[in-house]
Amino acid sequence: MSLQRIWTRGAIYLVLLALAAFYLMPFYVMIITGLKPYTDVNVTRMWELPKGFYLGSFLEAWTKVAPNFVNSMLITIPAALISSFIGSINGYIFSKWRFRGADTIFMLFLVGMFLPYQGILIPLVQTLQVLKLYGTIIGLILVHCIFGIPITALLFRSYFAGVPNELLDAAKMDGCGFFGIYRWILLPISMPAFAVVLLWQFTSIWNDYLIGLVVLSSPRLAPINVAVQNIAGSFTTEWNVQMAAALIAALPTIIVYLALGKLFMRGLLAGSLKG
Amino acid sequence: MATSNSVSVTGERTLSSAGLAVRKPRNWLRGDMLIAILVLTPSIIAVALFIYSFIGWTFYISTVKWNSVIIDYTFVGLKNWQRLFQDDRFYTDLRNLVYYATGFMTQCIVFGFIIASLLDQKIKGEAFFRTAVIFPFAVSGIVTGVAWRWLLQPTTGINLLFAKIGLTNFHPVWISDPNYGMWAVTIPAAWQFTGYVMALYLAGLRSIPQEVREAAAIDGAGTYTIYRYVIIPLLMPVTFTAIVLTGMNSIRVFDLVSAMNGSGPALATDTLAFFMFQTTFGAYRYSLGAAIGAFMMILSAFLVVPYLRSMRQEVEQ
C-alpha cells in the first residue's frame, strides 16, 4: 500500500466517522438529556453526560404518553397487517393477472401515492363524520389502510414480478385457480416481501402526525406523535421530559430498524420505484 | 399435451406451454380473470373514492363560500383563489418554499452522493456507517423537530460547540431568525432525509459494472474524471428520482415546522402545509384552506407526472 493510499484511506474513514457522529448526535443529546433531572438540564452543560442514571424524566414522560403509546400500537399493528395483506393480493393481481387496463389502474394508484394529503383532508374529515368514524381508532385504521393501498401494491407487485410465470402455468395445469395459486404458490414464498412491507407500513403509520392530528386529535385517543407534539408545544414541559417523551415515541421504530435494517433499506429503494 | 410435458428444461417448454395456454379452454381463464378483477374492485373503489373523488371535492370546495363552521356550498367561482393570491402570507410561504427546497434538496443530494461514494470504497464497517446515516429516517418528523429545537437553541446546543472550538462570536439564532429561519429548518430536514438519498445513490453505484470504471481508468482517467464524466452521468436517473422525492417532500413539509418553531417570527418558517392547516382546522375557513390544498396538489403534479411518465416503461416491463 503506497503512502498516498494510506493517507486517502485514513481521510475517508475520518470523514465517515465525523458524519456518523453528526447523524447520531441528536440521539445522544436526547438520551443524555432524558437521563438528567431537571436541575441538571443546564444550557451550558448540555453536552455533558448525566451524573447518574436518573429515570425520573422517563417515568414522568411515560405517565403522560402511555395511553397514546397504546393507541398508536392499536392503530399501527392492525393497519400494517391489514394493508400488507391487501397489498399482497393487489400486487398478485397487478403482476400475474394483467387484464386490459390493469397497468393504467396501477399508474393511477401510484399517482395517488405521491400527492400531498392537504389536497384531500377536508373531504376526508367530512366523509368520516358521515360514516360515524371521525375521531375513532377504527376510522384512523381505515384511513391508513386505504392510503397504504398504492405503496403496498407497488412493493408486492415488484416482488411477484420476479416469480416465473411457468410456475403459475404448472399450478394452473394442476387445477389451481385464482385463489389456489395465491394460497399455494405465492403466499408461501412471499414472506420476505411481507417483512419489507410490514416494516415499511409500521414505520410510516407509527410516524404519522398529520392524519392522526386531523382525524383523531382528542388528547385521550390521539396517537403518540400528536401527544409528543402537544407536550413539546406547551412550552411548560421541561426539556428533559420532552426528550424522554420523544425517545419513547421513537423507540418502536428504532428497535424495528435496528433489528431489520436490511429490509428497511430494501423498502426504501422499492418505495421510490427503483431497485 | 403429453409431449409438451415431456419436453422440459429446454427453451421449447415455454413455447409449448404458451401454445397450451392458447389452446386451453378460454372460459376457464376468463373465469379466473374475472375473479381477479372482482377481488381488485374494492381497492379500486377505495382509491377512486378516497383519493380521486376527494381531490375533485377539494377543488369544488375551493369554489364555494364555506368559510366558517357552517357548511355552505354556495358557488362563488374563483373568489377564494383570488383571496389566496392576494394574501401576503401565501407569497411568504412561496418564498419559504424556495428557500427550503433549495437548502434541503442541495444538502440531501450533495451529501447523499458524497456519503454513498465514500461507502462504495470497500469500507470496513460499512454496515455501521450506513445504519448511522439512515437511522434518522426511522424516526418521525415530530421527534426530529423536538430534538433539533433543543440543539438549535441560540444559548446552547450547536452554538455551545461552536463556542468550545473558539468561535465565540458566532452564535446564530437559527430557526428564530426572521430572515434565515427557513434555511435553518433545512438542517434537521436534511439530517432526516439524506440517508434515503444516500441509499438510492449507493444502489445506483453498485449497479455500475466494475468494467466501466476499469475501462475509464485504463484510458488514463483519474478519480475526478471518472466521477465527472462517467459515474455522475450514469447516475442521472437516480439524481432525477432524488430531485422528485425531495421536491415533493419540500412542498408538504408540516410535521417538522410544527414541532420546531411553528410559523416562526415574521412567518420566517411558515409553510403552505402549515398555512393550510391553520386556515382550515384553526380558523374554519374551509374553502380558503381547500384552495391552498388544491394549490399544493397542482405544485406536486408538476413533479409527479414527469416522474411517473419516466417510470412508465419500467412499470410496464
Residue B15: CB atoms within 10 A of its CB come to 12
Q: What are the distances in angstroms from CA A95 to CA A163, B20, B317?
A: 9, 21, 10
Q: How many helices (H) and strands (E) does chain A have?
A: 13, 0
Query: How confident is the model at residue B317, as a pLDDT?
Result: 54
Question: Of B53, B143, B315, which to mutate for an interface test with A (greatest number of A Cβ within 10 Å)?
Answer: B143
Q: Between chains, do B133 and A116 touch, taking CB under 8 Å as contact? A: no
Question: Of A40, A117, A272, which to mutate for an interface test with B (greatest number of B Cβ within 10 Å)?
Answer: A272
Residue B223: which residues within 8 A CB-CB, separation 6 or more?
none
Q: Cβ distance A183 to A143 under 8 Å?
A: no
Query: How confident is the model at residue A271, as a pLDDT?
Result: 63
More confident residue, A268 or A259: A259
Q: Chain A: residue nearest B300 by CA? A: A115
**Backbone φ and ψ of B170, nearest 5°:** -100, 95
- Chain A positions touching B151 (Cβ under 8 A) are 25-26, 29
Smallest Cα distance from A148 to chain B, Å? 10
Tell me what the pLDDT averaged over chain A comes to: 90
- Chain B positions touching A85 (Cβ under 8 A) are none
Query: How confident is the model at residue B18, as a pLDDT?
Result: 42
Q: Between chains, do B133 and A103 touch, taking CB under 8 Å as contact? A: no
* ipTM exceeds 0.85, yes or no: yes
What average pLDDT values come out for chain B (317 residues) when binned by 10 residues? 34 39 49 91 96 96 95 95 97 97 98 96 91 93 94 86 81 87 96 95 91 86 88 94 94 94 90 97 96 97 88 67
pLDDT digits (tens, 9 = 90+) for A131-162: 999 999 999 999 999 999 999 999 999 899 88
Q: What is the mean pLDDT of residues A168-196?
A: 90
Query: How confident is the model at residue B103, as a pLDDT?
Result: 97
- Chain B positions touching A27 (Cβ under 8 A) are 135, 147
Q: What end-to-end distance do the CA atoms of chain B give, in Å?
A: 30
Q: What are the distances in angstroms from CA A121 to CA A148, B93, B147, B210, B313?
A: 16, 20, 28, 48, 32
Smallest Cα distance from B214 to chain A, Å? 18
Separation CA B244–CA B311 (nearest Å): 12
Q: How confident is the model at residue A95 (pLDDT cuts 50, 70, 90)?
A: very high
Give the CA radius of gyration of chain B.
Answer: 27
Query: How confident is the model at residue A1, as a pLDDT?
Result: 64
**A112 interface with B at CB cutoff 8 Å:** yes
Smallest Cα distance from B304 to chain A, Å? 7
Smallest Cα distance from B277 to chain A, Å? 8
Q: How confident is the model at residue A238 (pLDDT cuts 50, 70, 90)?
A: confident
Query: How confident is the model at residue A274, as a pLDDT?
Result: 41
Interface subset of B 41-80, CB within 8 angstroms of A: 43-44, 46-47, 50-55, 57-58, 61
> What are the cell numbers at A156?
408486492
pTM confidence score: 0.90
> What are the cell numbers at B209?
459494472
